[in-house]
């Protein structure tokens, strides 16, 4: 296998943030890291991670996002520092 496309994830559910925080982290962080580790172990050449979070833009800025609006991922380092 030369490429893995990782598209799965647990979307934000703001109805009960504390209840879903652990599940969100397990699915979106822990499972992604494990999949990447297995890809390395299996000599996969490319690992493509796709996320649609905020792909439509942010209501705060009132614009639709494009390739010109790249920024750092939010929250990815919060639990690792």
pLDDT in 10s for each residue of the chain, 81 residues: 799 999 878 776 666 666 677 888 888 889 999 999 999 999 999 999 887 766 555 666 666 666 676 666 565 555 544
Q: Report the distance separating Cα 33 and Cα 80, nearest Å.
A: 13
pLDDT of residue 27: 84
Query: How far is Cα of residue 55 from the mean position of the Cα atoms in its chain?
Result: 12
pLDDT of residue 81: 44
pLDDT of residue 3: 94
């Amino acid at each position: 296998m030369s490429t893995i496309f990782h598209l799965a994830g647990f979307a934000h559910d703001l109805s009960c943030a504390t209840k879903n925080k652990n599940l969100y982290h397990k699915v979106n962080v822990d499972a992604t890291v494990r999949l990447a580790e297995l890809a390395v172990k299996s000599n996969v050449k490319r690992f493509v991670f796709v996320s649609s979070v905020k792909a439509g833009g942010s209501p705060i800025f009132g614009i639709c996002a494009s390739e010109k609006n790249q920024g750092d991922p939010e929250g990815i380092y919060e639990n690792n520092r």
